[in-house]
Amino acid sequence: MRNNSASHGLWALTAPPAPDTVPLASDTAADVIVIGAGYTGLSSALHLAEGGARVAVLEASEIGFGGSGRNVGLVNAGMWVMPDTLPDTLGAPFGERLIEQLGRGPQKVFDLIQKHGIECEVERAGTLHCAVGRKGLQEIEARAEQWQKRGAPVVVLNAEETRRKVGGGEYSGALLDKRAGTIQPLAYVHGLARAALAAGARIFTQSEAVTAQHNGLRWRISTESGSVDAEWVIVATDAYGKGLWSQVRQEQIHLPYFNFATGSLPDGLRKSILPERQGAWDTREVLSSFRLDRSGRLVFGSVGALEGIGASVHRAWALRSLRKLFPGLQDVEFETGWFGMIGMTSNNLPRFHELDRNVVAFSGYNGRGIAPGTVFGSVLASYVLGQIAENDLPLPVTAVEPQRFRAAREAFYIAGSQLVHLMETRF
């Protein structure tokens, strides 16, 4: 079973192949350089190219190498932060603007999938935020009330309704968000790349941006074997950033998140577990998530890194938890495993930075990368194209603020998740 840090697990096995790309091997020019070929970078490239700009994407590894190819595949609206908290945190007009744009985020994703014919196992049945105990129920009730007063199609299900939707478990309720859904995440990012190439963008993989020079008018970004000259640079590396403008990494705490996938379930189990094909996660502090892919494989995940002792600890916990949630799965084993890194900011909200002259970035998605990354990519394209001004952005411009004791806190999350899962497995 593959579970190393370079693996994309099930998603690599079932995604259509990425489009053919090559490393940058010469000196060229563009209007915009995009660093990073994930959701944000490729959404930016696609919308820029459709707007008539010459775009060159530089990717240090492969398309979707980072969080875009490793996540659960839940296409959710909004952020983890409660909607009513955003206006107080960000101030006017940014708070309500961010809520409005990210509330429509899943629809943006689904529209792009339909427009460009992206094959990514899209399911639009919504998502379930499952409440654990009374405290969890109070949390989802408050979240639902805040979304409902903004006109969002969200409802709170009682315990019995939740059990029918999930097909198991003892949850006290669930928040059903009808705006949301699931996709095959690596297939989606591959599809964005194909769409960007078809629109005229150029994508260079295995092409890490090594140096940057500015002559007062334009940037020259160099790789080991070539360079691109452009007026604008979009940095879209987020939690996987290194090298040039990697200071965005310094304001994020890396939270590891793993997933395991079973083989295709028998027809009877496939029809009884998540029968409407919602994706789900719970309100525990060390949360769990679960969903089915189109072939009936159950994907189950939680906080933790599949490295060293963590690989066996998290696997044992995941099997026990899965069988407790769905008693019919006593004989089911995992066939693949993988993990990635979530970039967590101090206030659990994304940031917009002007890192240098004509160098811009959104970062810090806090575990909500698919819809926000897609939306922010299109926003960056509109900004660079001059279609919107800085005051029209969904976030204010802020300086990069490194988090204190970052390495120690990251080590704590890795060790803490192992301890929680070890204790739950044994007791």
Handedness of CA 242, 247, 248, 249 (dihedral sign): positive
Q: What per-residue confidence (pLDDT) applies to 288?
A: 96
Instruction: Please state, in angstroms and rounded to a whole number, the distance separating the CA atoms of residues 198 and 141.
Output: 44
H/E element, 90 = helix 85-90
277-294 average pLDDT score: 97
* pLDDT higher than threshold 80 for residue 282: yes
Q: What per-residue confidence (pLDDT) applies to 7?
A: 84
Instruction: Please state, in angstroms and rounded to a whole number, the distance separating the CA atoms of residues 379 and 372.
Output: 10
* Residue 385 main-chain phi, psi, to 5 deg: -75, -5
Of the candidates 176, 361, 380, 405, the one whose C-alpha atom is nearest the C-alpha of residue 277 is: 176
Q: Which two tokens stand for residue 8?
A: 């994309």
Instruction: Please state, in angstroms and rounded to a whole number, the distance separating the CA atoms of residues 389 and 391.
Output: 5
Sheet architecture: strand order including 27-29? 27-29, 227-230, 219-222, 211-214
pLDDT tens digits, one per residue of 92-122? 899 999 999 999 999 999 999 999 999 999 9
301-322 average pLDDT score: 96
* pLDDT higher than threshold 80 for residue 427: no
Instruction: Please state, in angstroms and rounded to a whole number, the distance separating the CA atoms of residues 141 and 102.
Output: 20
Identity (one letter) of the amino acid at 145?
Answer: E
Sheet architecture: strand order including 232-235? 202-204, 55-58, 32-35, 232-235, 359-363, 351-356
67-90 average pLDDT score: 93
* pLDDT higher than threshold 90 for residue 162: yes
367-396 average pLDDT score: 96
Residues in the chain: 427
Instruction: Please state, in angstroms and rounded to a whole number, the distance separating the CA atoms of residues 177 and 127.
Output: 5
323-342 average pLDDT score: 95
The conformation of residue 123, written as its DSSP 8-state character, comes to B
Q: What per-residue confidence (pLDDT) applies to 6?
A: 61
Place of tokens 């066939």: 335
Q: Which pLDDT band, with edges at 50, 70 and 90, does 246 fall under?
A: confident
402-415 average pLDDT score: 92
pLDDT tens digits, one per residue of 338-374? 999 999 999 999 999 999 999 999 999 999 999 999 9
Mean pLDDT of the chain: 95
Q: Which pLDDT band, with edges at 50, 70 and 90, does 5 fall under?
A: low
| Residue-range domains of the chain with CATH | 9-126+179-392 (3.50.50.60), 127-178 (no CATH)
pLDDT tens digits, one per residue of 8-44? 999 999 999 999 999 999 999 999 999 999 999 999 9
Bond from prior residue into 396 cis (ω within 30 degrees of 0): no
Count the neighbouring beta carbons within 10 Å of the beta carbon of residue 92.
8
Q: What per-residue confidence (pLDDT) applies to 243?
A: 86
Q: What per-residue confidence (pLDDT) applies to 3?
A: 44
198-217 average pLDDT score: 97
Q: What per-residue confidence (pLDDT) applies to 116?
A: 98
H/E element, 181 = strand 181-182
Place of tokens 């897609």: 374
Give Cβ neighbours of residue 215 (< 8 Å, ≥ 6 apart): none
H/E element, 28 = strand 27-29
